[in-house]
Structure formats: structure tokens, C-alpha cells
Amino acid sequence: MGFLSALVSHVATVVAFAPLIYLIFCLVYNYFLHPLRDYPGPLFWRISPFPRAWAQCRGTLVFDVARFQRRYGPVLRIGPSELAFVSDEAWKNIYGHRGVGEEENPKDLRFYRLSNHIPHSILSAGRAEHGLLRRQLASGFSERSLRGQEDIIGGYVDLLVRRLRENSDNGKTALNMREWYNWTTFDIIGNLGFGSDFQCLEKTTYSPWIRVITDSIKQGAWLQAIAYTGLEGVARWIISLAMASFQGHQTLSRNKVEQRIQLGKQGERLDFLDGLIKQVRVSFTKADQSTSMTADEDR
């Protein structure tokens, strides 16, 4: 009985200290043995993913990286397995176009598509499908199309100026310009992407759908931060819990796309999606709209 008790006690001790032992092993490995060990960077960022994740949650990641690069140089280790580069050559080598037969760098799905519950889009699509979408969207950014969009964009700019004058008492009252620029951008993208705006400038507020998108930007950053710490399973579980609200977003996207498709049957419309809707199957177009709107807010 005494032997069994001692054995149970030893096993319990090992189990209790196993996470700590594993953590120490990871820190030692990342500092002394990791293939990126010779690259410069702040100590805790080099040996642990948590400082980077915390900076992303706080919204200071890009500022922290810029500050570190001024101190450590153009190649910076910002995580145990992650380097940040700042040079024209690096941009070309990492993100530049590859010729026929040349492999491109794979996308990090922790950033582009964290869960299979999230539909593919132009951001996460593979090389062949991404190239197809780029070619079919190109007509919406041709000189002819941009000239055709000029009056539409100008109308929203005029409306923005008018609303600013009305709500600022001709410049006497301070306004949150971030919201006003967001409203203007969403209305323009809504018109050029779906054939109708979201009435953000008219009502000087976010529509419920746009509110979901703006809220998801911060939530997405938190989920990416969780995934970067190695807890991708936890992030995917959280996403699965939120699928009900996401499905509502998808329904709104689908309705808007179908509205734009019907509008296209009435004749040519020189907007972003005219060429895409003519050529790409509808199912892929629907899935892509959520990301096109979200990417617009992220910029």
C-alpha cells in the first residue's frame, strides 16, 4: 500500500510539473538550438510567442516591430519561428510574382483562413484561383471603369463634406474623422461592389451589417493572437461557437450579391464586380464578398 501511495504521489508530481518542464524546454530550445537563434530581436520575443500575441491584442504590433527594427536592423526575429523584414528586396522575394513553374511561398492560414468554417476568398485562394480572380477583377480597375466610377465617388465625397459641415457646426465642433471616413468608404464600396450603398453617410451611423464587420476586425486579431501562441485548436473552437452570427453575415452577403447579379442583367455597370460576375461561378463570388468588405475596413 505504501509503495502504491508513493507511486501515485510521484506520478502526480510529474504531471503537475510537466507543463513547467515543457515550457522551460521550449524557452531553452528557442534561445540556444532553434534554426533562427542567430537573428537579432528582443529576448522575450525571440524565445516566446506570447509577447507578439499580446502586442497584436493591444493593437501595437506594427509600431513595436518598427521600433525594434530601428534598433536591431532590417531583419528582426519577432517570434520563435518568425522573422520580419523591411526592404524592397524582401518584399519582392516574399510576395513578388513567380514565373511559370516557380513555387510561391505558402500562405500562413493562421492569418488568412484560421478555420475551415470560414469560406475561401481571394485572400486565401490558391495560386491558380487567385490569379483567375485577379484577372476577372482587373476590368473593374481599368481606366475606362475608373472614369465611369468617378461621378459615383465624387457624389459620396460631396455628401461627406456636406454632412461634416452639418454635424460640426461649420467647423466649431470636433468630430471623430475615423468614423466619417469609414462611412464614406463603406458607402462607396457598397455602391461599386453591390450596386447600392449602406446609407452610412445618409444616416450618419453604421448599418447593422457593417457593425458586425467592424467588430469582427478586433475579434479576428484576438483569435489570430491565440493561434500564434500554439492554441489554434482553441481559436477554431471559439470560431465554431460564433458560427451562428457568422451565418447571419453570410446571409446578408448572399442577398447583396444576388441583388448585384440581378442589377447586372439590366446592362453593363462599370464597377468592381462587373467582370467577375460575368465570368465566375456565383458560389465563389458569394463567399468572397465577406472578405472584400472586411479587407476594406482593415485598410
Task: Tell me the DSSP string of 242-285.
Answer: THHHHHHHHHHHHHHHHHHHHHHTTS---STTHHHHHHS-HHHH
Quick check: 253 and 290 in contact, CB under 8 A?
yes
Given this model, what pLDDT does residue 282 score? 47
Nearest to 49 by CA among 74, 77, 22, 69: 77
Asked if residue 90 has pLDDT above 80, the reply is yes
Q: Is residue 151 located within the same domain as residue 291?
A: yes
Considering the domain architecture, whether residues 101 and 246 belong to the same structural domain is answered as no
The three three-digit cell numbers of residue 221, written as one number: 486579431
Q: In which domain, by residue range, is 7 found?
A: 2-112
What per-residue confidence (pLDDT) applies to 289? 54
Domain boundary among 52, 82, 112: 112
Of 18-27, 46-55, 165-174, 201-210, give the range with the top mean pLDDT.
46-55
CA–CA dist 150, 165 (Å, integer): 23
Q: Which residue has the higher pLDDT, 91 or 118?
A: 91
Judge whether residue 155 has pLDDT over 70. Answer: yes
Q: Is residue 203 part of a domain?
A: yes
20 and 65 housed in the same domain: yes
Residues contacting residue 78 through CB under 8 Å, at least 6 positions apart = 41, 45, 52, 65, 68, 84
C-alpha cell at 116: 475551415
For the segment 117-139, the average pLDDT, to the nearest whole number, is 76
Q: How many domains does the chain have?
A: 2
One domain, residues 192 and 227: yes
Mean local confidence (pLDDT), 150-172: 90
pLDDT band at 279 (very low <50, low <70, confident <90, very high): low
Residue 53's pLDDT band (cuts 50, 70, 90): very high
Q: Of 80, 112, 144, which residue sits at a domain end?
A: 112
| pLDDT at residue 63 tops 80 | yes
Q: Is the residue at 121 inside a domain?
A: no
Q: How confident is the model at residue 283 (pLDDT cuts 50, 70, 90)?
A: very low
> Which cell is 117 given?
468554417
Same domain, 32 and 90: yes
| Residues 97 and 204 occupy one common structural domain | no
State the amino acid at position 95 in one-letter form. Y
Q: What is the mean pLDDT of the chain?
A: 81
- Give the DSSP letter of residue 105: P
**pLDDT reported for residue 113:** 76
Residues 204 and 153 in one domain: yes
Say if residues 208 and 188 touch (Cβ distance below 8 Å). Answer: no
CA distance 39 to 43: 11
What is the predicted pLDDT for the residue at 61? 94
Q: How far apart are CA 129 and CA 56, in angstroms?
A: 30
Q: How far apart are CA 154 and CA 141, in angstroms?
A: 16
- pTM more than 0.95: no
Query: Do residues 139 and 95 share a domain?
Result: no
Report the pLDDT averaged over residues 246-269.
71
139 & 258 share domain: yes
Range 134-139 average pLDDT: 78
Please tell me the least confidently modeled range out of 33-42, 103-112, 168-177.
103-112
Residue 276: its pLDDT value, please? 67
End-to-end CA distance of the chain: 67
Q: And the C-alpha cell for 126?
A: 490558391
- Per the domain annotation, does 159 fall within a domain? yes
- Does 137 lie in the same domain as 68? no
Q: What is the CATH number of the domain that holds 282?
A: 1.10.630.10
Question: How confident is residue 31, by pLDDT bands cut at 50, 70 and 90?
Answer: very high
Q: Does 88 map to a domain?
A: yes
Structural domain contains residue 117: no
Which of 84, 112, 140 is the last residue in one of the domains?
112
Q: Is residue 44 part of a domain?
A: yes
| Pair 107, 131 in one domain | no
- pLDDT of amino acid 56: 93
Q: pLDDT (tens digit, 9 = 90+) per residue, 93-123?
A: 888 777 777 788 888 878 877 777 677 777 7
Does 58 share its domain with 142? no
pLDDT average, residue stretch 46-57: 95
